[in-house]
Structure 1
Amino acid sequence: MAGPEAAPAVRPSAPALDLAVGAYLDHLAVERGLAANTLAAYRRDLARYTVFLAGRGCAEVHAVQEADVRAFLASVRTGEDGATPLSASSAARILAAVHGWHRFCALEGTAPQDPSRGVKPPAQARRLPKAIPAEDVEKLLLAAGVGDGPVPLRDRALLELLYSTGARISEVVGLDVDDLELDPAAAAARLLGKGSKERVVPVGSYARDAVEAYLVRARPALASGGRGTPAVFLNTRGARLSRQSAWAVLRQAAQRAGIARADDVSPHTLRHSFATHLLAGGADVRVVQELLGHASVTTTQIYTQVTPDTLREVYAAAHPRALG
């Protein structure tokens, strides 16, 4: 039975279009080895498209114009083609199938050009990063250090450093011992971010103490089973801790701490919380941009969203004629 996004059966497609779609699907299956479910999704999306084209009098691939592609994109958003209206993200998915098909047809010579190349997907609502309250962060950090032996000390140091620096998980597990400066007056970490760009970020006193305790009291025991890696954070075999293992450390700490929706807590949650809490505390957005390693301040500004209640409070306190 056809799914909710299947092409309407009231209008047929055109044989030439169906042949061209079949050739593309064969290419995806044989040359690119796509999974059966992925191929079925492409087939369903392109069936909807070719039915729409046939309804506009386009019986051959070479007859399709950019205006036809744009009209199709508009129709799937509203359901005017007779099928289920699509969200912005689903419309972007179906447009990706259309782009791929037209590009293939142009390369194969079935069409003189790609009429879809200039058609952009609809703008999608930008989701705000998930952050957790500062009190939940504290519970999380305390839960990570529960237990005896070197592992709890490592886990507490790992999460303290993630939250203290706002670093990506890959940046923290990639740290070597020489990348840390633990002098109380100038504690800092040298992080290697995206595009191999280095940045030096301050390390707070809680994280500095946790990392120092780990390096002195736990890392030597973990390192004894390995081959002498310079990595700061080690697994129980003495090798560098992986991103997946670090993720598991956080997930387990969130569960032990009893944080709501603990399974949704990720390493990026601490990064988002770091930025959100800094900005809420009055930090300048450009300073937070530097700390996060964002190339553009626009990326950082998604953390500056405030609630209506906060807006009203700030307005009432700051505007000279807000209150009678």
Structure 2
Amino acid sequence: MIKNLKYKQAVKSFLKYLLAERGYSELTIKEYNQDLDLFARYLNKEFDYEIESLEIEEINQFHLSEFLSDIILINDNSAATRNRKLYSLRSFFNFLVKRNFINNNPTLSIESTKTNLRSEPIYLNADDIRNYLNAIKNYNSKNQSRDLAINKMFLYCGLRISELVNLNIDELDYEDSSIKFYGKGNKERYVPLHQEVISAIKNYLPDRNKIKTSNHDAKKALFLSNRGNRISVRTVQTMVKKYAKRAGVRNAEKVTPHKLRHTFASILYKETKDLRVLQELLGHSNLSTTQIYTHTDKEQRKNAVDQLPEL
């Protein structure tokens, strides 16, 4: 196994292999390259990995599973497209194992999609949310106020994790009860703040101000690590899973900041049935992306059937 192998270098070697040893056409190689580039950009967007410095050993099955799920859930692709991208990634990692660049192929336990049915987004139900927030409140930690503010921003604002960690204090507007910042695609986002969020942030700020910031960027940041840096994506991801486990949430390992964003979106649509407002709040460019939240939950389906007249 080669230590510190960069993702881009590994992709370059793989494409050479397809051309020189497998004899694939330029068009086929281009498709492989596009799939691997899309995966790298996904890691950058959702997990804040720097593409240029990304190393192969940093990639695990969770990253791959999330990417392949969001191919359908977020990008509105077909099962066939998802399976093709899985095959591209599996071939890439098979090559790395064959060349002794890595020991194991993390894609082997990921199954292909057998149907063309579109999955509904995964989200927490009301009991899960209560238990989750109580787990934070009942956890004796010096980060309690910070963690509660972060999670309420996910659940009441539906922010992407990259948007949350990049929030600055001066982007808060208490008079307007809102935040305004530049999100995905460098587009300006305006998000109203629920009173629960405002209260949580005001409760957190005195604790934040006790932390000695380590650099100029940290001085601007809303959320800080214990070391005085802007909080990292990985810290937030780890924190979310920790509280999901403590709350006893089913499949806690699969609870991520992205799933909390799904929770916000699912609840808001259920309450308002307003796709346009949801589109704006989530920062989606296309309304079709937002339409995955028009599902109904199991309880709604049962109630609807119960209301049928006797025949």
Q: Pick the aligned partner of 2:252 from 262, 265, 278.
A: 262
Give the structure 2 partner of residue 252 of structure 1. 242
Distance 1:174 1:31, change over 3 A: closer
Deviation at 1:192, TM superposition (A): 2.1
1:1-324 aligned at under 5 Å gives the runs 32-34=12-14, 88=80, 89-91=82-84, 125-148=117-140, 150-183=142-175, 186-215=176-205, 217-222=206-211, 224-228=212-216, 229-307=219-297, 310-311=300-301, 313-314=303-304
Superposed CA offset, 1:82-135 (max 9, x none): xxxxx834455558999xxxxxxxxxxxxxxxxxxxxxxx99543321101022
Structure 2 CA distance for aligned equivalents of residues 227 and 179 of structure 1? 19
Distance in 1 separating the partners of 2:87 and 2:259: 31
Higher RCO (CA-CA < 8 Å; seq separation 6+)? 2
Secondary structure, counterpart of 1:207 in structure 2: helix
Q: Which amino acid aligns with 2:12?
A: R
- What SS does the aligned partner of 1:132 have? coil
Larger gyration radius, structure 1 or structure 2: 1
Amino acid at match of 1:218: D
Q: Distance in 2 between matches of 1:198 and 1:130?
A: 27
Deviation at 1:172, TM superposition (A): 0.8
Q: CA deviation at 1:310?
A: 3.1
RMSD of aligned alpha carbons: 3.6
Q: Aligned partners of 1:230, 1:308: CA distance in 2, in Å?
A: 44
8 Å contact kept, 1:150–1:221? no
- Gaps spanning 5+ residues in structure 1: where? 1-27, 51-60, 63-86, 99-121
Change in Cα spacing, 1:124 to 1:316, as seen in structure 2 (3 Å) is closer
TM-superposed CA distance for 1:145, in Å, is 3.5
The 3-state SS of whatever aligns with 1:281 is helix
Given the superposition, is the C-alpha separation of residues 91 and 271 from structure 1 closer, same or farther in structure 2, using an over 3 Å criterion? closer
3-state DSSP of counterpart to 1:167:
coil
Q: Percent identity?
A: 30
- TM-score scaled by structure 1? 0.60
- Residues 131 and 270, structure 1, Cα contact 8 Å, conserved in 2: yes
Q: 1:97 to 1:135 in 2, by over 3 A?
A: closer
Alignment length (residue pairs): 225
Classify 1:240/1:307 alpha carbon distance in 2 versus 1 (closer, same or farther; 3 Å). Answer: closer
Change beyond 3 A, Cα 1:257–1:93: closer
